[in-house]
Structure 1
Amino acid sequence: MDTTQLLKGVLDLAVLAVLKDEDGYGYDILRRLRTAGLDEVGDASVYGTLRRLFQAGLLNTYVVPSEEGPHRKYYGLNAAGRDQLNRAGKTWRNFASTMDALLDERGVAA
Protein backbone atom coordinates (compact mmCIF):
# COMPACT_ATOMS: atom_id res chain seq x y z
CA MET A 1 0.00 0.00 0.00
CA ASP A 2 1.29 3.45 -0.89
CA THR A 3 1.70 5.35 2.38
CA THR A 4 1.95 8.77 0.70
CA GLN A 5 -1.75 9.53 1.12
CA LEU A 6 -1.77 8.23 4.70
CA LEU A 7 1.20 10.44 5.51
CA LYS A 8 -0.55 13.54 4.16
CA GLY A 9 -3.42 12.88 6.53
CA VAL A 10 -1.29 12.53 9.64
CA LEU A 11 1.69 14.83 9.04
CA ASP A 12 0.30 17.57 11.29
CA LEU A 13 -0.10 15.06 14.11
CA ALA A 14 3.37 13.59 13.51
CA VAL A 15 5.03 17.02 13.60
CA LEU A 16 3.19 18.00 16.78
CA ALA A 17 4.16 14.66 18.34
CA VAL A 18 7.89 15.07 17.65
CA LEU A 19 7.75 18.55 19.21
CA LYS A 20 5.95 17.29 22.33
CA ASP A 21 9.07 16.97 24.48
CA GLU A 22 11.64 19.10 22.71
CA ASP A 23 11.68 22.11 20.39
CA GLY A 24 13.43 21.69 17.07
CA TYR A 25 14.45 23.41 13.85
CA GLY A 26 13.27 22.28 10.43
CA TYR A 27 15.96 19.77 9.52
CA ASP A 28 16.02 18.38 13.06
CA ILE A 29 12.26 17.79 12.95
CA LEU A 30 12.59 16.12 9.55
CA ARG A 31 15.36 13.87 10.91
CA ARG A 32 13.24 12.91 13.95
CA LEU A 33 10.30 11.99 11.73
CA ARG A 34 12.49 9.83 9.51
CA THR A 35 14.19 8.21 12.49
CA ALA A 36 10.73 7.34 13.85
CA GLY A 37 10.00 5.45 10.64
CA LEU A 38 8.40 8.05 8.37
CA ASP A 39 11.13 7.63 5.76
CA GLU A 40 9.00 8.90 2.89
CA VAL A 41 8.28 12.32 4.39
CA GLY A 42 9.52 15.10 2.13
CA ASP A 43 11.47 18.18 3.13
CA ALA A 44 8.99 20.59 1.53
CA SER A 45 6.05 18.86 3.22
CA VAL A 46 7.58 19.27 6.67
CA TYR A 47 8.57 22.91 6.15
CA GLY A 48 5.11 23.70 4.76
CA THR A 49 3.48 21.95 7.70
CA LEU A 50 5.60 23.93 10.17
CA ARG A 51 4.60 27.22 8.52
CA ARG A 52 0.93 26.24 8.50
CA LEU A 53 0.93 25.08 12.14
CA PHE A 54 2.66 28.31 13.17
CA GLN A 55 0.14 30.43 11.23
CA ALA A 56 -2.67 28.48 12.89
CA GLY A 57 -1.32 29.55 16.29
CA LEU A 58 -0.20 26.07 17.39
CA LEU A 59 3.56 26.70 17.48
CA ASN A 60 5.92 29.31 18.85
CA THR A 61 9.13 30.17 17.03
CA TYR A 62 12.45 31.67 17.98
CA VAL A 63 15.79 32.09 16.23
CA VAL A 64 19.07 30.69 17.55
CA PRO A 65 22.40 31.84 16.05
CA SER A 66 24.51 29.05 14.59
CA GLU A 67 28.29 29.02 14.35
CA GLU A 68 28.10 26.49 11.50
CA GLY A 69 25.89 28.41 9.07
CA PRO A 70 22.71 30.46 8.99
CA HIS A 71 20.64 31.07 12.09
CA ARG A 72 18.16 28.31 12.91
CA LYS A 73 14.46 28.93 13.39
CA TYR A 74 13.21 26.70 16.20
CA TYR A 75 9.62 25.59 16.63
CA GLY A 76 7.96 24.59 19.88
CA LEU A 77 4.47 23.65 21.01
CA ASN A 78 2.46 26.28 22.81
CA ALA A 79 -0.68 25.61 24.87
CA ALA A 80 -2.92 25.57 21.79
CA GLY A 81 -0.53 23.15 20.08
CA ARG A 82 -0.56 20.81 23.07
CA ASP A 83 -4.36 20.89 23.12
CA GLN A 84 -4.45 20.11 19.41
CA LEU A 85 -1.95 17.27 19.88
CA ASN A 86 -4.16 15.75 22.59
CA ARG A 87 -7.35 16.07 20.50
CA ALA A 88 -5.74 14.77 17.30
CA GLY A 89 -4.04 11.96 19.22
CA LYS A 90 -7.39 10.78 20.59
CA THR A 91 -8.93 10.96 17.12
CA TRP A 92 -6.03 8.96 15.67
CA ARG A 93 -6.20 6.30 18.39
CA ASN A 94 -9.95 5.88 17.88
CA PHE A 95 -9.51 5.62 14.12
CA ALA A 96 -6.61 3.18 14.40
CA SER A 97 -8.56 1.07 16.89
CA THR A 98 -11.52 0.93 14.51
CA MET A 99 -9.28 -0.10 11.62
CA ASP A 100 -7.57 -2.75 13.76
CA ALA A 101 -10.96 -4.16 14.73
CA LEU A 102 -12.11 -4.23 11.10
CA LEU A 103 -8.95 -5.98 9.99
CA ASP A 104 -9.15 -8.50 12.85
CA GLU A 105 -12.82 -9.24 12.10
CA ARG A 106 -12.01 -9.91 8.47
CA GLY A 107 -9.10 -12.16 9.33
CA VAL A 108 -6.59 -9.95 7.54
CA ALA A 109 -2.98 -10.95 8.33
CA ALA A 110 -0.98 -8.41 10.29
Structure 2
Amino acid sequence: MKKLILTGLGFLFAITLALAQEVDVEQKTKETIATLAEKLTLSDEQQATIYPVVLEAKITKYALKADTALSFQELQQQLHKLKEGSNNRIMEQLNDKQKEQFKKYLAERKSKED
Protein backbone atom coordinates (compact mmCIF):
# COMPACT_ATOMS: atom_id res chain seq x y z
CA MET A 1 0.00 0.00 0.00
CA LYS A 2 2.86 2.38 0.83
CA LYS A 3 4.45 1.70 -2.56
CA LEU A 4 1.21 2.57 -4.31
CA ILE A 5 0.86 5.83 -2.40
CA LEU A 6 4.50 6.76 -3.00
CA THR A 7 4.17 5.94 -6.69
CA GLY A 8 1.05 8.10 -6.92
CA LEU A 9 2.79 10.98 -5.17
CA GLY A 10 5.76 10.59 -7.51
CA PHE A 11 3.51 10.86 -10.57
CA LEU A 12 1.73 13.86 -9.06
CA PHE A 13 5.07 15.57 -8.43
CA ALA A 14 6.26 14.83 -11.99
CA ILE A 15 3.05 16.19 -13.52
CA THR A 16 3.29 19.33 -11.39
CA LEU A 17 6.84 19.95 -12.61
CA ALA A 18 5.82 19.37 -16.22
CA LEU A 19 2.93 21.82 -15.95
CA ALA A 20 5.12 24.39 -14.22
CA GLN A 21 7.61 24.17 -17.06
CA GLU A 22 4.82 24.63 -19.62
CA VAL A 23 3.79 27.86 -17.91
CA ASP A 24 7.42 28.97 -17.92
CA VAL A 25 7.69 28.30 -21.66
CA GLU A 26 4.47 30.23 -22.29
CA GLN A 27 5.72 33.15 -20.20
CA LYS A 28 9.12 33.20 -21.92
CA THR A 29 7.42 33.09 -25.32
CA LYS A 30 5.23 36.07 -24.41
CA GLU A 31 8.31 37.96 -23.23
CA THR A 32 10.13 37.19 -26.49
CA ILE A 33 7.15 38.31 -28.57
CA ALA A 34 6.91 41.54 -26.54
CA THR A 35 10.61 42.22 -27.13
CA LEU A 36 10.30 41.53 -30.86
CA ALA A 37 7.16 43.66 -31.10
CA GLU A 38 9.00 46.55 -29.46
CA LYS A 39 12.21 46.21 -31.49
CA LEU A 40 10.55 45.51 -34.85
CA THR A 41 7.23 47.35 -34.42
CA LEU A 42 5.26 44.21 -35.23
CA SER A 43 1.58 44.43 -36.09
CA ASP A 44 -0.92 42.38 -34.09
CA GLU A 45 -1.24 40.04 -37.07
CA GLN A 46 2.53 39.53 -37.25
CA GLN A 47 2.68 38.87 -33.51
CA ALA A 48 -0.07 36.26 -33.82
CA THR A 49 1.76 34.58 -36.71
CA ILE A 50 5.17 34.61 -35.04
CA TYR A 51 3.94 33.44 -31.61
CA PRO A 52 3.55 29.74 -32.57
CA VAL A 53 7.00 29.76 -34.21
CA VAL A 54 8.65 31.07 -31.04
CA LEU A 55 6.61 28.76 -28.80
CA GLU A 56 7.53 25.69 -30.84
CA ALA A 57 11.21 26.70 -30.81
CA LYS A 58 11.23 27.16 -27.04
CA ILE A 59 9.48 23.84 -26.37
CA THR A 60 11.89 22.05 -28.71
CA LYS A 61 14.86 23.80 -27.08
CA TYR A 62 13.81 22.62 -23.61
CA ALA A 63 13.22 19.09 -24.91
CA LEU A 64 16.67 18.99 -26.51
CA LYS A 65 18.33 20.25 -23.34
CA ALA A 66 16.49 17.59 -21.32
CA ASP A 67 17.68 14.82 -23.67
CA THR A 68 20.66 13.36 -21.83
CA ALA A 69 21.46 11.00 -24.70
CA LEU A 70 22.83 13.87 -26.81
CA SER A 71 26.47 14.81 -26.51
CA PHE A 72 27.32 18.47 -25.95
CA GLN A 73 28.39 18.84 -29.58
CA GLU A 74 25.20 17.19 -30.89
CA LEU A 75 23.12 19.42 -28.63
CA GLN A 76 24.86 22.54 -29.93
CA GLN A 77 24.30 21.43 -33.54
CA GLN A 78 20.62 20.73 -32.93
CA LEU A 79 20.13 24.06 -31.13
CA HIS A 80 21.90 25.91 -33.95
CA LYS A 81 19.65 24.27 -36.57
CA LEU A 82 16.58 25.04 -34.47
CA LYS A 83 17.59 28.70 -34.09
CA GLU A 84 18.29 29.09 -37.81
CA GLY A 85 15.00 27.47 -38.77
CA SER A 86 12.88 29.55 -36.41
CA ASN A 87 14.71 32.77 -37.38
CA ASN A 88 14.05 32.03 -41.06
CA ARG A 89 10.36 31.40 -40.35
CA ILE A 90 10.16 34.70 -38.45
CA MET A 91 11.91 36.54 -41.32
CA GLU A 92 9.21 35.31 -43.72
CA GLN A 93 6.63 37.32 -41.75
CA LEU A 94 8.57 40.61 -41.78
CA ASN A 95 8.71 43.48 -44.24
CA ASP A 96 12.07 44.69 -45.58
CA LYS A 97 12.63 47.31 -42.86
CA GLN A 98 11.76 44.82 -40.13
CA LYS A 99 14.10 42.24 -41.66
CA GLU A 100 17.02 44.65 -41.32
CA GLN A 101 16.02 45.44 -37.73
CA PHE A 102 15.73 41.71 -36.99
CA LYS A 103 19.20 41.03 -38.40
CA LYS A 104 20.57 43.81 -36.20
CA TYR A 105 18.72 42.38 -33.18
CA LEU A 106 20.16 38.92 -33.85
CA ALA A 107 23.68 40.35 -34.17
CA GLU A 108 23.29 42.18 -30.84
CA ARG A 109 22.01 39.02 -29.18
CA LYS A 110 24.87 36.98 -30.60
CA SER A 111 27.48 39.47 -29.34
CA LYS A 112 25.94 39.28 -25.84
CA GLU A 113 26.12 35.46 -25.92
CA ASP A 114 29.80 35.47 -26.90
Flag the structure with higher helix content.
2
Instruction: Give TM-score scaled by structure 2 length.
Output: 0.30
Flag the structure with higher strand content.
1
